[in-house]
Structure 1
């Protein structure tokens, strides 16, 4: 695999870090990181031996963490934070972590919040900036959503950079998903074109957990944890009726990670339908026949479907949203109607219940595990930006925090491998057929 994993930098670092970490190397000592420290993409012995035989260095990411020398003088640094795209558990935790890290770890006492996504940079929208201090972000992690508001859609990159320059902002932290990060890259390129010394760091936010080379995005764990009791209750609904069928639609536009992990966490699910899979509704081996066979044995069935699944079943397109994403048909309602229609044709009684908890899930506060993760992501983003790194996202790979170039992160979406262990776990847990097509 050939990838350029070089992280852009604003220039040499000459300012001593205020962190005052121990320089003594030791197993239990937390030390400064440096750009030579790498985290392997593939940790298998087989890959290492193959690289050794070819005389090649294995693919590796730059390790995140505090640097002994930093680029920005904290006393003269002004930072800004913006949140974009759909809501996700943990956004407020990340905002809080950024503000606290800047203030208490580095002594940066000038941080502002940009309201309503990239719109907040455009003067014509009239959204005021928000002063962010340790005092006014102290309790925001207890609430879901984002205190800064959000929006979708592209804005004029030149105007965004004009605002950064006009307000003497040195560092921009952008919290968002694929579209937000593409916007970050465009901002970085415009900053470079103008020769400005502004660092831009991304914190990847996607409830779908589908950002490339990021093993877990914040909010994902809260999402499928919140879905867990909903699936439990849906199962109770299905069991409570003769030939009861419950359908739960969860988020997942292009990747089915929420649906899969929610189903594995509550293994009463009988069918999991995700965007990565091909299937048929009709026919002896189709989904409808599989559900009918299930009812013949147990008199109830529980289906979990990701929102982006089965779009090939529709014969028209709905255009795109403000972010340029293709609008998807409602597969949940479609499946409900098709199941009802099927059993009527079979003259077979069936009770179908449909549940869509999507907006409840994405607006939930972060759970304990995600809260810890958000704080670590935020602090590592601060470390990287203060060292003058730009055009990067901070993430985790092989249980280590890394810097990832934005072009690599947005090159393609991470998807479930239908030949991999995770999907095999689903097949084992649900007992659904390996394929539902002729």
Structure 2
């Protein structure tokens, strides 16, 4: 194909027909004389039946799968998987694993499969768990991880390594990594954690150390860009059904019953949207990406009145980040942030509950019975379901294959159904959001029969800022698929 690397700070490879590969760093970028070794997988009896187990060095994955006749070949990422040659011998590897940020279903599964993948696939005998997030690197909180020790942890919620939020001292972390002779670092966390991983990689590169840094992106909100979806999301949507079902039972059991459920979604309403679509019992879904107003013709309170008169009950699902503009003035902590830099949000569920109660108490003759359910921490703390367990296994193994092959400064995730190695900056520069001008949100509006609550100005603003969509369902398919709105 005659590929040539661009002379830029990024690893960009261009080819014929508009082909662009945004590659990830490799240890040989700054340590050019490293020797390679045969991949021990070639002697592993478990993989002897696989016809072509090793990934070709030139395999890439297209970011956009839907193209037109005149489309260029577009952006690609390096395909994840085992290589025939590796840059670490099994007995020299000393790996460590750390989890950071909030809890999410599947964390323990990722930890388990990283440990078992290193031991069982590559014969690695030394894996260290860093306890308490990034700060554990320099507070000497560590445990030895073995396949026997992690055998059942995927059946538990949370993380056996503990976690924390907040800043860290990059230089002290790398000092700790050096002092312990660690040469593979696996970092599980959200966009803030991955930004920290990028800084750790840069410091390691500056010191010219033979240490691979691999990230595994984690967010229950599914707001990480580029990848098809984040682990724990399927479990969260499934678990949210319990709360919605409870709200529906409560609402239909009394006259003018209203069940209000608050779900996670600080900036992105994916959990609320998919839980609503899966449930079919929801009458109204409110998410951060779709502005709404309380009072006025066609607005929320009028719609609630209309639905109660029609059905005698209703269920409302609201994402935690929805409606923050409506309550910002009464929110003292509007400019306050948590340790990870996230804006502290007022409880939209409690606020909206009170507004609805006040409206019906003062303005109408309808007597309502409202039940508010907030399952946030129950959802975060459950073990991952079978779908997420399989997904977490693939993520962990892809990360191990990449680190053993000498790739570093990357995160791993599925792009159009194929696991890929993605530069850190691509998943931290923007957040994945529900696109309210595309078909998936239209499907939700059709399902709930709610108004869009959008003014012409809102629609124009949404179209103007619409990014490349990253949704989970392709047209006519119920399976996770490409980065497409369908």
**Whole-Å Cα distance in 2 between the matches of residues 13 and 176 of structure 1?**
31
**Whole-Å Cα distance in 1 between the matches of residues 394 and 70 of structure 2?**
33
Indicate how the Cα distance of structure 1 residues 375 and 432 shifts in structure 2: closer, same or farther if over 3 A, else same.
Answer: same
- Quick check: 387-396 or 313-322, which moved more? 313-322
Indicate how the Cα distance of structure 1 residues 431 and 371 shifts in structure 2: closer, same or farther if over 3 A, else same.
Answer: same
Indicate how the Cα distance of structure 1 residues 217 and 3 shifts in structure 2: closer, same or farther if over 3 A, else same.
Answer: farther
* Counterpart in the other structure of 2:363: 346
Indicate how the Cα distance of structure 1 residues 2 and 350 shifts in structure 2: closer, same or farther if over 3 A, else same.
Answer: farther
**Whole-Å Cα distance in 2 between the matches of residues 312 and 5 of structure 1?**
37
**Whole-Å Cα distance in 2 between the matches of residues 3 and 85 of structure 1?**
33
**Are residue 49 (structure 1) and residue 70 (structure 2) matched?**
yes
**Whole-Å Cα distance in 1 between the matches of residues 64 and 112 of structure 2?**
33
Q: Is the 8 A contact 2:293 2:453 kept in 1?
A: no
Q: Is the 8 A contact 1:286 1:437 kept in 2?
A: no
Aligned counterpart for 2:443 among listed residues 401, 425, 435? 425
Aligned counterpart for 1:111 among listed residues 127, 145, 163? 127
**Are residue 378 (structure 1) and residue 391 (structure 2) matched?**
no
**Whole-Å Cα distance in 2 between the matches of residues 322 and 420 of structure 1?**
35
Indicate how the Cα distance of structure 1 residues 213 and 2 shifts in structure 2: closer, same or farther if over 3 A, else same.
Answer: farther
**Whole-Å Cα distance in 2 between the matches of residues 428 and 233 of structure 1?**
23
Q: Is the 8 A contact 2:21 2:76 kept in 1?
A: no
Aligned counterpart for 1:293 among listed residues 306, 309, 314? 306
**1:323-379 deviation digits (Å, cap 9, x = unpaired):** 011111111111101000110112421111100000000100010111111111100
**1:148-207 deviation digits (Å, cap 9, x = unpaired):** 000000111110000001100001000100110010011111111111111110111100
Indicate how the Cα distance of structure 1 residues 244 and 2 shifts in structure 2: closer, same or farther if over 3 A, else same.
Answer: farther
Q: Is the 8 A contact 1:279 1:437 kept in 2?
A: no
**1:89-129 deviation digits (Å, cap 9, x = unpaired):** 00000000000000010011100000010010123xxx521
Shift of 1:29: 2.5
Q: How does 1:54-73 map to 2 (within 5 A)?
A: 57-73=73-89
Consecutive unaligned residues of structure 1, counting only runs of 5 or more, are: 23-27, 52-56
* Counterpart in the other structure of 1:29: 51
Shift of 1:425: 1.3
Shift of 1:422: 1.3
**Are residue 18 (structure 1) and residue 35 (structure 2) matched?**
no
* Counterpart in the other structure of 2:277: 264
Shift of 1:226: 0.6
**Whole-Å Cα distance in 1 between the matches of residues 19 and 289 of structure 2?**
25
**1:44-81 deviation digits (Å, cap 9, x = unpaired):** 240x6321xxxxx4211110000111111111110000
Which structure is richer in relative contact order (CA contacts within 8 A, separation 6 or more)?
A: 1
**Whole-Å Cα distance in 2 between the matches of residues 167 and 4 of structure 1?**
35
**Whole-Å Cα distance in 1 between the matches of residues 71 and 455 of structure 2?**
39
Q: How does 1:221-370 map to 2 (within 5 A)?
A: 221-313=234-326, 314-315=328-329, 316=331, 317-347=334-364, 348-370=366-388
**Whole-Å Cα distance in 1 between the matches of residues 403 and 155 of structure 2?**
26
Shift of 1:209: 0.6
Consecutive unaligned residues of structure 2, counting only runs of 5 or more, are: 1-17, 29-33, 45-49, 457-486
**1:274-312 deviation digits (Å, cap 9, x = unpaired):** 010111111112111111111111111100001111111
TM-score, with structure 1 as normaliser: 0.94
* Counterpart in the other structure of 2:461: none
**Whole-Å Cα distance in 1 between the matches of residues 57 and 77 of structure 2?**
10
**Whole-Å Cα distance in 2 between the matches of residues 252 and 384 of structure 1?**
31
* Counterpart in the other structure of 1:399: 417
* Counterpart in the other structure of 2:202: 189
Indicate how the Cα distance of structure 1 residues 145 and 3 shifts in structure 2: closer, same or farther if over 3 A, else same.
Answer: farther
Indicate how the Cα distance of structure 1 residues 164 and 181 shifts in structure 2: closer, same or farther if over 3 A, else same.
Answer: same
Indicate how the Cα distance of structure 1 residues 60 and 299 shifts in structure 2: closer, same or farther if over 3 A, else same.
Answer: same
TM-score, with structure 2 as normaliser: 0.85
Q: Is the 8 A contact 1:121 1:160 kept in 2?
A: yes
**Whole-Å Cα distance in 2 between the matches of residues 2 and 243 of structure 1?**
58
Q: State the superposition RMSD in angstroms.
A: 1.8
**Whole-Å Cα distance in 2 between the matches of residues 273 and 138 of structure 1?**
40
**Are residue 84 (structure 1) and residue 69 (structure 2) matched?**
no
- Quick check: 315-324 or 60-69, which moved more? 315-324
